[in-house]
């Protein structure tokens, strides 16, 4: 048996075993001791509502990973995601009026068994109209604790709400980036809102900067409707101020389906600016120097799918674990490294999850 098939079969076995544990009864760890599977019909189909502020490439990746994980443990026919309760008002809804209307519609629909809120704005909207009963699960939220959605890493503080947490994830990114590059002035661009600071991990950057002794240069004059032109203006101003490294955030002008991101990455490389892509693989493959490997969403899908099943079996979302201890891996673009004149240590490259020898644009690129 080849190695790929072996790894695939092993994962199926592990997930199937997990499924048997789930249906056999409650966990003995104490966190779910009162949430058994009693009273749940094996023939029931669970309807999942979905809401996002607007399209972001990672959201469908996460949803597909959840569906795949559910399928691997025999739950694909029991959980449905109907189109009529899938809402994406759009980023141009600046005052969130449409977002709030859709959130209320989901929360008032008694046929819905669970709501998935994708991203910070959608989560805030759903929690604002929370009926206290319909289970809510967030995905793709940058910092649930700083956003005020949960009380701590161990308690969401809301009985019908849970979210996946990865504590210290972005601080580790900044630390790895600085350790390998040794920059002095890191550039950040972000929306001038509290949520915008979270999307770009501004507070984490400042914390790591104080500890490691570098300066953070910021540009906050972009908005969610900007294309590459808005970000390019920000990059130019940061370069003029002495930026010698850039942290690529989760903002819409870096969305391949809406902007010509190649222009931004090429501008950075031409000005000898190393870039760390927060959202990983496709950006590194397209020309960013480094980033967190995001080619495989299956661990995230497994984590969330497991919690969905517990909820459908009667567990309270608040009782479920939120911390995902999966450690992120790093991707590197070797062509970009060569153009920047960076020679990474062999030991570091050996530890990377992905190495790209040439730059390739994603299929969904607008250019």
Pairwise CA distance, residues 4 & 347, whole Å: 24
Residue with more model confidence, 277 or 6: 277
Residues 308 and 226 occupy one common structural domain = no
Q: Supply the mean pLDDT for the chain.
A: 86
Assigned domain for 72 exists: yes
Domain containing 254: what range? Answer: 169-294+328-356
Say how many C-beta atoms besides its own lie within 10 A of residue 224's C-beta: 21
Hunting for tokens 């629909």 — which residue is that? 109
115 phi, psi to nearest 5 deg: -115, 130
Residues 122 and 110 occupy one common structural domain = yes
User: What would the mean pLDDT of 350-354 be, rounded to a whole number?
Assistant: 90
Model confidence at 121: pLDDT above 50: yes
DSSP helix/strand/coil, 115: strand
Assigned domain for 46 exists: yes
C-alpha distance from residue 35 to each of 26, 30, 78, 239, 266 (Å) = 6, 10, 19, 55, 53
pLDDT tens-digit readout, 134-177: 999 999 998 899 889 999 999 999 999 999 998 888 899 999 99
pLDDT tens-digit readout, 1-29: 343 433 344 444 344 434 433 333 333 33
pTM: 0.74
Assigned domain for 267 exists: yes
What CATH number does the domain containing 333 carry? 3.40.50.2300
Report pLDDT for 40: 64
Closest by CA position to 183, among listed 33, 26, 289: 289
Q: Which of 135-139, 324-328, 340-344 has the lowest mean pLDDT?
A: 324-328
Residues 81 and 97 occupy one common structural domain = yes
Assigned domain for 367 exists: no
Residues 280 and 313 occupy one common structural domain = no
Element (H, E) at 24: helix 3-24
pLDDT tens-digit readout, 173-195: 999 999 999 999 999 999 888 88
pLDDT tens-digit readout, 92-115: 877 899 999 999 999 999 999 999
Contact 123, 138 (CB under 8 A): yes
pLDDT tens-digit readout, 193-232: 888 888 888 999 999 999 999 999 999 998 887 888 989 9
Residues 224 and 338 occupy one common structural domain = yes
Assigned domain for 27 exists: no
Closest by CA position to 266, among listed 340, 350, 170: 340
Residues 175 and 98 occupy one common structural domain = no
Residues 195 and 147 occupy one common structural domain = no
pLDDT band for position 251 (50/70/90)? confident
Residues 64 and 102 occupy one common structural domain = yes
Report pLDDT for 92: 84
Residues 231 and 337 occupy one common structural domain = yes
Residues 342 and 202 occupy one common structural domain = yes
Assigned domain for 162 exists: yes
Residues 267 and 182 occupy one common structural domain = yes
Assigned domain for 361 exists: no
Assigned domain for 2 exists: no
> Could you give the number of structural domains in the chain?
2
Extract long-range pairs of 238-242: CB within 8 Å, 24+ residues apart: 238/187, 238/189, 239/187, 239/271, 239/273, 241/185, 241/217, 242/185, 242/217
Residues 339 and 221 occupy one common structural domain = yes
Alpha-carbon radius of gyration of the chain: 21
């Amino acid at each position: 048996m080849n190695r790929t098939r072996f790894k695939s079969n092993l994962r199926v076995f592990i997930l199937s075993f997990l499924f048997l544990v789930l249906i056999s009864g409650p966990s003995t760890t104490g966190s779910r001791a009162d949430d058994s599977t009693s009273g749940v019909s094996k023939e029931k189909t669970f309807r999942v509502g979905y809401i996002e502020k607007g399209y972001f490439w990672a959201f469908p990746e996460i949803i597909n990973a959840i569906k795949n994980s559910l399928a691997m443990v025999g739950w694909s026919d029991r959980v449905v995601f109907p189109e009529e309760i899938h809402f994406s008002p759009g980023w141009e809804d600046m005052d969130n009026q449409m977002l709030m209307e859709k959130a209320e519609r989901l929360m008032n629909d008694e046929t819905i068994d669970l709501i998935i809120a994708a991203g910070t704005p959608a989560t805030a909207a759903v929690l604002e109209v929370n009926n206290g009963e319909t289970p809510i699960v967030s995905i793709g939220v940058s910092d649930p604790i700083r956003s005020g959605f949960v009380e701590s890493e161990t308690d969401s503080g809301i009985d019908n709400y849970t979210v996946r947490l990865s504590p210290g994830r972005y601080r580790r990114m900044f630390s790895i980036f600085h350790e390998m590059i040794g920059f002095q002035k890191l550039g950040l661009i972000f929306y001038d809102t509290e949520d915008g600071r979270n999307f770009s991990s501004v507070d984490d950057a400042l914390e790591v900067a104080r500890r490691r002794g570098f300066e953070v240069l910021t540009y906050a004059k972009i908005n969610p409707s900007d294309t590459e032109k808005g970000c390019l203006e920000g990059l130019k101003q940061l370069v003029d101020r002495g930026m010698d490294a850039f942290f690529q955030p989760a903002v819409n002008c870096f969305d391949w389906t809406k902007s010509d991101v190649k222009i931004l990455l090429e501008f950075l490389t031409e000005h000898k600016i190393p870039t760390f892509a927060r959202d990983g693989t496709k950006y590194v493959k397209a020309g960013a120097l480094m980033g967190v490997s995001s080619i495989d969403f299956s661990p995230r899908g497994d984590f969330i799918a497991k919690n969905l099943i517990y909820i459908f079996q009667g567990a309270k979302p608040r009782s479920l674990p939120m911390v995902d201890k999966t450690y992120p891996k790093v991707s590197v673009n070797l062509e970009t490294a060569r153009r920047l004149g960076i020679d990474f240590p062999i030991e570091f490259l050996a530890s990377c999850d992905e190495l790209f020898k040439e730059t390739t644009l994603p299929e969904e690129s607008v250019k």
